[in-house]
Amino acid sequence: MAPDAARAGAAVNAMNRARAALSASLLTALLAACTPAATPAPTPAEAEAFVSAAETRLLALREEATRTAWFRETSLDGVTSEAAASAAAALTAAAAELARGAARFDGLDLPAPTARKLTLLKTTPPTVAPDHAGFEAELADILAELELTYSAGAYCSAAGHDCLDRNGLERTVAELRDTDQLLDLWHEGRAIASTMQSRYERLVAIANAGAVELGYADAGERWRSVYGLPPDVLPTELERLWNQVRPLYESLHCHVRSVLGEEYGTAIAPPGEAIPAHLLGDLGDGRWSAVYGLAAPRTRGRSYEPTRQLERNRVSPSDMVRHGERFLGSLGFDPLPDTFWERSLFVRPTDRDALCRAGAWNLDGENDLRLTMCLGVTGDDFAAVHRELARAYYRWAYRSRDPLFRTGANDAFLEAAGDAVALSVTPAYLVELDLLDRAPSDSYDVPFLLRKALDEIAALPFALLVDRWRWQVFAGEVRPDSYNQAWWELRAAYQGVRAPLPRNEADFHPGSSRRVPSNQPAVPDFLAGIVRFQLHRALCAAAGNDGPLHRCSIFGSPEAGARLWAMMEMGASRPWPDALEVVTGARQIDTSALLDYFAPLAAWLDEQNAGRSCGW
């Protein structure tokens, strides 16, 4: 383990021992003892007044939190970090207070918009502390500690030199082909997560107590309630979607395991068994792109290289953003405000530190759109520009809605809409921009689709199992003494992946997945991974596309743009099936568009897997 990481882990453990935190049992006892006095039954008029006041209050707090977060992202120092943390804490405290206040109106017969706003107030903060002294501050401390511990994860050589941060680890495992080194990096990349478990146990206790106070059985039920379905229905719906995709995933798994066996030997990657996790180059998000070089077709043309085309045409980072604006303008969207170009960050500054995480912003909820992206001139970043600009336009489109409706139709739609636009960054689109002379032949389709599947299809079961695990933890079905065992059981069941080393309950491997220490739901990632293709197919149909779905670009189609804008400008003012219907004509999420998109790859995988022992 890196010296800094070790010191961070020791500091966290010391804080844990020193903290006079209440036990989960004492927390339950306190909540039982502090039952509020009976109050008069609320009225619809009071509910309307409450919502109106909440929107006014949250609008100001969100604007301040967004503005200070922007300065932290683009000019990282102690002052901006402190200001951003203070503003975020004020917003979190207000959101928690308003969530508890909204619960008072449960059961009232209210107009649909008011009822929707109350639901959004109750479910928007991922975790709400109970309304008792000290718990809110303790929750904030726990979340900060978990984030800090995750960020501190690093690896150093035995001599203490050549240290790698998490990004460096990701790049290195993608290049290594030595199993001993891969195993060492896999183990060290997860070592610091073991210091998280006691804090995570406490997080679960506080989150559950806060959810119960709002009328939910536990924090998992509260998370599931955001989708407008009965909480016990959502898991069944997710399984329906997963079972439709699973045959494609199993074919991908079979092919990857076979080529890993060829590279490393079948004693390490045996046929018919789960894949040892260290061979996949996955440090915590389920993506397998690190093994593309092994899994790529040997006899077909390699995929075209958009990075090379951009370099040949001397495209700059700002040119990439201009191309993105031109794409969205071709759909009928307005030009970006002049302030966007004056205030956005496209390249890493040389005069200050910046986090440089890709993000689309609307600082005032009106016209102050901005982008943060430290761009490289690469094909991946070119597509990412289009994705983030689409999300910026989404935030611009719903600016006229009431403050509580200024968000995506649900927490998957903002992500899915941007991803759907990025799917249109195809060779044909580059031809339209004069960045490519002609589109490659269909011999390039399988390599292109395989590279995308190793990221997007491989990540689907991982996103699903992360929240499956947390729901079981929140419900008490998985106790702290079996956190790690349950985690690897789910990884085996959904992914066909196993730990390459003996494990025990001191490891807390869930902490190595970003979504767990950040306490953010993962179901939106799963749903967005399906909805993006559903939106893409419908937009392609509106654009008159009659060719293969993976080759379609909606560039230049106002008809497709009108559908997309209609969904975007709704924000969260209507249930998400209404938003989906505006674009697709359907009210149910389904995977047929995803399967259409990857159909050439599925046929190729079937050919490759003939005679192989698949499954696990």
Mean of pLDDT values over 486-492: 97
Question: And the tokens for 469?
Answer: 């695990």
In a domain, residue 15? The reply is: yes
In a domain, residue 254? The reply is: no
pLDDT digits (tens, 9 = 90+) for 215-269: 999 999 999 999 988 888 999 999 999 999 999 999 999 999 999 999 999 999 9
Q: Which of 140-144, 391-395, 578-582 has the lowest mean pLDDT?
A: 140-144
Contact in structure between 569 and 548 (CB atoms under 8 Å): no
In a domain, residue 476? The reply is: no
Q: Among 8-17, 36-45, 56-65, name the most confident range.
A: 56-65
290-319: buried (b, 16+ CB within 10 Å) or exposed (e) per residue? Answer: bbbeebbeeeeeebbebeebbeeeebebeb
| Spatial CB neighbours of 78, under 8 Å, sequence gap ≥ 6 | none
CA 20 to chain CA centroid, nearest Å: 34
C-alpha closest to that of 354 among 374, 384, 339: 374
| Spatial CB neighbours of 598, under 8 Å, sequence gap ≥ 6 | 248, 449, 452, 453, 457, 550
| Spatial CB neighbours of 604, under 8 Å, sequence gap ≥ 6 | 297, 446, 450
Amino acid 162: pLDDT: 66
Mean of pLDDT values over 408-428: 96
Q: How many domains does the chain have?
A: 1
C-alpha closest to that of 252 among 295, 217, 212: 295
**Rg of the chain, C-alpha, whole Å:** 24
Query: pTM for this structure?
Result: 0.91
In a domain, residue 337? The reply is: no
pLDDT digits (tens, 9 = 90+) for 294-346: 999 986 555 678 999 999 999 999 999 999 999 999 999 999 999 999 999 99
Amino acid 592: pLDDT: 98
In a domain, residue 47? The reply is: yes
In a domain, residue 146? The reply is: yes
Q: Per-residue DSSP letters for 566-613?
A: HHHHHTTSS-HHHHHHHHHS-SS--SHHHHHHTHHHHHHHHHHHTTS-
Amino acid 28: pLDDT: 53
Contact in structure between 12 and 162 (CB atoms under 8 Å): no
Contact in structure between 505 and 196 (CB atoms under 8 Å): no
428: pLDDT strictly greater than 70: yes
Quote the mean pLDDT of the chain: 90
In a domain, residue 140? The reply is: yes
pLDDT digits (tens, 9 = 90+) for 180-195: 888 888 887 788 888 9
State the amino acid at position 128 in one-letter form. V
pLDDT digits (tens, 9 = 90+) for 104-125: 999 999 999 999 999 999 998 8
pLDDT digits (tens, 9 = 90+) for 511-569: 999 899 999 999 999 999 999 999 999 999 999 999 999 999 999 999 999 999 999 99
7: pLDDT strictly greater than 90: no
Question: And the tokens for 248?
Answer: 């494609």
Contact in structure between 128 and 219 (CB atoms under 8 Å): no
Q: Which of 288-302, 414-428, 436-450 has the lowest mean pLDDT?
A: 288-302
Amino acid 5: pLDDT: 43
Q: Which helix (H) or strand (E) is 51 found in, with range?
A: helix 44-74
| Spatial CB neighbours of 433, under 8 Å, sequence gap ≥ 6 | 323, 326
Q: Which of 31-45, 79-93, 421-435 has the lowest mean pLDDT?
A: 31-45
Amino acid 157: pLDDT: 57
CA dihedral 355, 358, 364, 368 (to 10 degrees): 110
- Give me the residues paired with residue 275 across strands: 497
Please state, in angstroms and as integers, the Cα–Cα distance from residue 146 to each residue in 143, 149, 315, 484, following that order. 5, 5, 40, 17
Amino acid 581: pLDDT: 98
State the amino acid at position 277 in one-letter form. A
Q: Where are the alpha helices (DSSP H) in 302-443?
A: 306-312, 317-330, 338-343, 379-397, 413-422, 427-432
11: pLDDT strictly greater than 60: no
Rounded to whole angstroms, how far apart are CA atoms 77 and 71?
Answer: 9
Rounded to whole angstroms, how far apart are CA atoms 86 and 100?
Answer: 21
26 class by beta-carbon count within 10 Å (0-12 exposed, 13-18 middle, 19+ buried): exposed
**How many residues belong to the chain?**
616
Rounded to whole angstroms, how far apart are CA atoms 421 and 392?
Answer: 12
537-565: buried (b, 16+ CB within 10 Å) or exposed (e) per residue? Answer: bbbbbbbebeeebbbbbbbebeebbebbb
CA 197 to chain CA centroid, nearest Å: 22
CA 200 to chain CA centroid, nearest Å: 20
Amino acid 25: pLDDT: 52
Contact in structure between 278 and 183 (CB atoms under 8 Å): yes
In a domain, residue 124? The reply is: yes
Rounded to whole angstroms, how far apart are CA atoms 548 and 597?
Answer: 7
Amino acid 188: pLDDT: 78
pLDDT digits (tens, 9 = 90+) for 254-269: 999 999 999 999 999 9
37: pLDDT strictly greater than 80: no
Q: Which helix (H) or strand (E) is 263 found in, with range?
A: helix 234-264
Amino acid 300: pLDDT: 55
What phi, psi does 496 have (nearest 5°)?
Answer: 65, 40
- Strand 275-276, strand 497-498: pairing: parallel
Give the pLDDT band (50/70/90) at residue 3. very low
CA dihedral 190, 194, 197, 199 (to 10 degrees): -100
**Which residue range(s) make up the domain with 213?**
3-24+43-227
- Angle 496-499-501 from CA coordinates, rounded to 5°: 150
